[in-house]
Structure 1
Amino acid sequence: MALTGPALAQTRPVAARASAQALKASGATVPTMSPARTTGRGRLAAEPVHLRTLSKTDASRALAQAGFGPDAVRYGVDLYRLLYRTVDAEGRPTVASGLIVLPRNGERRLRMVSFTHGTQSYKEDAPSIGEDDFSSAPAITFGSAGFAAVTPDYLGLGEGPGTHPWMDVPSETTASLDMLRAARVFMAREGRTPQRRVLVTGFSQGASAALGLARALQDGADSSYRLGAVAPISGAYAFRDAEIPALLAGGEINPKMAVAYTTYLLVAWNRLHHLYDSPTEVFKAAYADKVDRLFDGTTPGPEMLDALPDSLDQLLTPRGLDLLRHPSGPFAKALKAADGTCDGWVPRAPIRLYYSAGDEQAVTANTEHCRDAFHANGVDLTPIDLGPYDYEGSRHLGTAVRGTAAIVDWFAHLPA
C-alpha cells in the first residue's frame, strides 16, 4: 500500500506548495463542469504542461538521487502533466491528473507502461506535482528505457478536485484507464502512437490498482488497448484476512504506519460507504476532530503523522476496534470488493507477483492470499521475493526500488 497503500510511505519531506500556486504556475486550471462538457472520458481537460526535460545523464542522476538504479537508462525523457476527464467513485464526471514520460529516442510507435503508485495522502506529493523524485522515479525508469510511461495521480490527488477515495479499486481502475486514453490523445498531438498492448505494474496501493486495470483491459474496456503483461509489487490484496489482522496484532507492521493506514481507511471509506455518523464513534476524542482534515489532501505527510498517536489503542474507541475485528455491513461489503482483485479471473497475458519477506507495511500474507486465489483458478504462479533490501529504513519502500528494476528488465524482454 506504501504510505505509499499500506505504505503512506511517501512521508518523506516534500517541499510544500499551495495547490492554487501550482495551478497558476503551470497555467492549468480545473474547468468548471457543465452538462454540455461532461462527456468524453479520457479527453484532455486542459493544455498539457511540460514539466521538464531530462537528458540521459540527467535521468540517471535523478534516479540515483531518488534511490533508484540507473541501469535501464538508454534515453533522455520529457515529463508532462495531463489533466483529463474521468468519473468519480459514484460515476459522476470529474477530472484527474497524471504524469506521462516519453523517451527522447525518435521512435513514433511506443510500447506503453502503466505504473500505479502507492499510498499518498497529500495532493502535492502526487507524481505529476511532487518535487520528490521518488514519486516519479518509476515512470522515469520506464520512460528512459524507451517506453511511454503513464502514472495516474488517482482521484483527489495532484490537480484532481475533492478528496482521495483511498483503496477504492473501481475508481483507481477508471482513473488509470482514462489516463491511458488521455495519453493516446496527447501522444497523437506529439506525432507518436501507443502500441496496443499495455504493460501494467504498480506498487503497494497501486498493486491492487494494477490488477484492476489489467482485468479491465483483458475484458475489453477499451478497444484500442489490450493487456500485454501485469506485474504488481507488494500489494494489500487481502485487507480483511491479512492486513487488518496484522494491523491489530502489532509486530509485523510499523505501529505508526498501522495508525496512519487505519485512519486513512476509516476516513476514506466512511466518505464512500458511510461506516459511522460521527468520527467520535470510532476515534477517541483527542483525534476525532482532526482525522477528516488530516486526510483531505491538504496536510503534508510528516505533519499528518505527527498529529496521530503511536498506537491503535490510543486512536480508536472500543467501537472502532470492534469494527476492525468484526467487519460487518457496509464495511464488510467494501472489504470484499477491495479484496477481490486476484479472485475469479485468469490472466491471458504473462503475470508476475513481486514482494519481499519481512515487509513492514504490506505483510507477506497479502501476496500469499493473491497467489492462492490465482491457483484456485488454475493459474500457475510463484511470487518472486525481491530480497531483504531496505530503502531509508523501509523494506516496503525497498520493494518499489528493486521491483521497478526487475520489472523494467522483464518488460524489455517481452515480445513487442
Structure 2
Amino acid sequence: MPLSKRSSRSRARTLTVATLCVCAAVGSAAPTLAAGQVHHAGLQRGALLSATEVEGLDAAEATAYVRGMGFAAPAAQHGVDVYRVTYRTIGPTGLATIASGVVALPRAASRHGRLQGLRTVEYTHGTLPYRGDAASVTDGPDRAVTVMFAGAGFAAVAPDYLGLGVGPGQHPYMDINSETTASVDLLKAARTFEAGKRATLDGKVMVTGFSQGGTAALGLGRALQRDAVPGLRLAALAPVSGPYDLSGAELPAAFDGRLAPPTATFYLAYVLTAWNRLHHLYRSPAEAFRAPYAGTVEALFDGNHTDEQIAAGLPGTPEELLTPQFIHYLKHPTGVLAQILRTADTVCTDWAPRAPIRLYDADLDRDVAVADTLSCQHSLAANGVTAPIVNAGNVDHIGSALASYPKILHWFSQLTPTQQ
C-alpha cells in the first residue's frame, strides 16, 4: 500500500495520497507565513509577496534527484533552482487570501544569466491532506516533476492550492473553482518573479496534472483558453489519471469494488468534509458518518494530520464510514450535491480545447476509475476534440504518474510552435 520515494537529502514524500502512503513524520510541520505577509489589502490577485530558494541543483544533481523519485527521465540539460513563492489570490467565496507554490527555473535564468523565450509548464498535484507535504515545503515526487521540466529548459510552476504549503486555512478539496484561481494567480506571480530573474517567456503555457491535479489541469486549461492571464495562452494539455466524471464514473466505482475500499473511504471522507464546509451537505456529521467516526472525521482533515494519522482514524470500507442514508444520497444525488457534481464534471464537458490534448491513464488503477478517462475522451469528442489516450499499461495509480511524466516531457519538448 505505501509508496515511498527517498531523495538523498530528505524524508520520503508522495506524489499523491491516493495509496494512503505513510509519508510524513508525526509532529512535523510546514513553515508558516510571517504575520506581516497576510495583510496586503491593496494588492491585486497574483501579486508576488515573497520568494525563497528551497533547492539548488546542477544538471547531474537534477538528473539524480528526478530519477531517485522513481521517474525514468532523461538526463537534465540544465541545472535547476527551485523557489517557494507566496502570492495573493482568492478563496472559494471570493475573499482575499494567500497561497504558496513552486517556481523552478533552468539555472542560466535563475543564476542571473538570461534565457530567452522560455515555455512554461504548470503542474497541478494530486491529493494531499497534510499541508507539509506540498512541493513548496518538502522534497518529493511533486517537486521532482518541476525539476524534470526545468532541467529540460522549461519554466515550471506548481501551485500548492489553497490551505496547503504555507497558505492559511483548510484546503477546499476538489473545488474546481479555487483550484483554477490558485493556479491562474500563481502564473501571474511567477511571471513577476521570472522577470526579476531575467527569464523571458514566450507566452505559451503547457498544462499537466495528476489525479486531483488532472481535473485541476483541465480547469486551468479552460481558464487560459478564456484569456484568464493576458499574454499567456494554452499550448498543450496532458492530464493524468484524473477523476473527471465524479457522478458517472468515480462515485459509482467507490461502491462497486472498482476502487480499493480503503482508498475510496479516504477520498469520500476528505471530499465530503471539504464540500460540507462550502456547501453544507449535512447539518451534523452524524447525518453522514457512522459512530464513532462522526465525532472525529472532520478534525482529521484540518491540514495538520499526516496520512498515517488519517488512515489510522478511518475504517476500511465506505459502508463502515457512512450511514446507509448518506450512501443512498451519494448514489442518487439531488439538490446541492447534484449541482456540485455537475460543476466538477464540466472540466470535460463544457468546452473544446483548441490546444493539443492527450489523456494519460493505467490499466490497474484502483484509486481513480479508468472509466473517468474514457468518459472525458467521449465528452471532448462530442465537442469536436480528438483526445488520444496514452495508456501506461499494467501499473497502478502511482505507476501511471511515474510512467507518464517522462512521456509528457518528451511530447511537450517535441511540440513545435505551429502545433501549439
Question: Given the two structures, how large is their TM-score scaled by the length of structure 2?
Answer: 0.91
Cα distance in 2 for partners of 1:214, 1:301 equals 30
2:91 equivalent among 85, 88, 92:
88
Q: Distance in 2 between the 1:282 and 1:5 partners?
A: 29
- Counterpart for residue 296 of structure 1: 302
Contact 2:66 2:148 in 1 (8 A): yes
Cα pair distance change 1:405/1:70, threshold 3 Å: closer
In the other structure, the counterpart of 1:384 is 390
Aligned residues of 1:115 and 1:139 also touching (Cα < 8 A): yes
When the two chains are superposed, the root-mean-square deviation of aligned CA atoms in Å is 1.9
Question: Does structure 2 conserve the Cα–Cα contact (< 8 Å) formed by 1:238 and 1:366?
Answer: yes
Q: Deviations over 1:110-147 (max 9, x none)?
A: 1100000000000000110123x222111111111111
Give the Å deviation of 1:33.
Answer: 4.6
What are the within-5 Å matches in structure 2 for residues 165-180 of structure 1?
A: 165-180=172-187
Unaligned runs of 5+ in 1: 390-394
**Change in CA separation of 1:364 and 1:30 when aligned onto 2, cut-off 3 Å:** farther
Partner of 1:141: 148
For the pair 1:11 / 2:12, whether they are aligned, the reply is no
- Tell me whether 1:212 sits opposite 2:222 in the alignment: no
Deviations along 1:355-412, one digit per CA (max 9) or x if unpaired, are: 11221111111011101101111112221112123xxxxx101111111111100000
Q: Which residue of structure 1 lines up, in the alignment, with residue 235 of structure 2?
A: 228
Residue 194 of structure 1 corresponds to which residue in structure 2?
201
Tell me: CA distance 1:318–1:242, structure 2 relative to 1, closer, same or farther (3 Å): same
Q: Distance in 2 between matches of 1:388 and 1:141?
A: 24
8 Å Cα contact 1:360/1:396 also seen in 2:
yes
8 A Cα contact 1:17 1:124, kept in partner: no
2:326 matches 1:325: no
Q: Using the alignment, how far apart are the partners of 1:6 and 1:298 within structure 2?
A: 16
- Report the Cα distance in structure 2 between the residues aligned to 1:5 and 1:318, rounded to whole angstroms: 33
**1:29 equivalenced with 2:34 (yes/no):** yes
Aligned counterpart for 1:267 among listed residues 269, 273, 279? 273
Displacement after TM superposition at 1:18 (Å): 4.5
Going from structure 1 to structure 2, the CA distance change for 1:55 and 1:242 (only over 3 Å counts) comes to same
What is aligned with 1:123?
131
Counterparts of 1:74 and 1:5, CA distance in 2: 23
1:255-404 to 2 correspondences below 5 Å = 255-389=261-395, 395-404=396-405
Matched AA of 1:145: A
Residues 109 and 158 of structure 1, relative CA distance in 2, 3 Å threshold: same
8 A Cα contact 2:60 2:75, kept in partner: no
| 1:237–1:366 contact (8 Å) kept in structure 2 | yes
Q: Which residue of 1 aligns with 2:45?
A: 41
**Matches of residues 65-104 of structure 1 in structure 2 within 5 Å?**
65-104=68-107
Q: 1:270 to 1:314 in 2, by over 3 A?
A: same
Checking the alignment, whether the CA contact within 8 Å between 2:46 and 2:189 is kept in structure 1 is yes
> C-alpha deviations, 1:83-107, integer Å up to 9, x for none?
0000001111000000111111442
Q: Say whether the 8 Å CA contact 2:18–2:397 is kept in structure 1.
A: no
2-side partners of 1:317 and 1:14: how far apart? 31
Distance 1:376 1:72 in 2: 40
Query: What secondary structure, in the 3-state scheme, does the structure 2 residue paired with 1:141 have?
Result: helix
| Cα distance between partner residues in 2 of 1:101 and 1:65 | 18
Residue identity opposite 2:90 in structure 1: V
Question: Please, which of 158, 164, 169 is the counterpart of residue 162 of structure 1?
Answer: 169
Tell me how far 1:30 sits from its aligned partner: 5.3
Structure-2 residue corresponding to 1:392:
none
How many residues of Structure 1 are paired with residues of Structure 2 in the alignment? 401
The DSSP-based 3-state class of the residue aligned with 2:24 is coil
Partner Cα distance (2:149, 2:132) in 1: 22
Closer, same or farther: CA 5–243 of 1 in aligned 2, 3 Å: farther
The percent of aligned pairs where both chains have the same amino acid is 43
2 CA distance for matches of 1:69 and 1:85? 36
Aligned 8 A contact 1:14 1:130 in 2: no
Give the TM-score normalised by the residue count of structure 1.
0.92
CA shift for structure 1 position 166: 0.7
Matched, 1:239 2:240: no
Does the CA contact (< 8 Å) of 1:13 and 1:301 recur in 2? yes
Q: Is the 8 A contact 1:353 1:382 kept in 2?
A: yes
Check conservation: 2:38, 2:98, Cα contact below 8 A: no
2:212 counterpart letter in structure 1? Q
Task: Give, in whole Å, the separation in 2 of the partners of 1:291 and 1:8.
Answer: 18
2:320 is matched by which residue type in structure 1? Answer: Q
> 2:249 aligns to what SS in structure 1?
helix
Deviation readout 1:238-295 (Å, 9 max, x if unpaired): 0111011010112x21111010001011101001110001111110111111111111
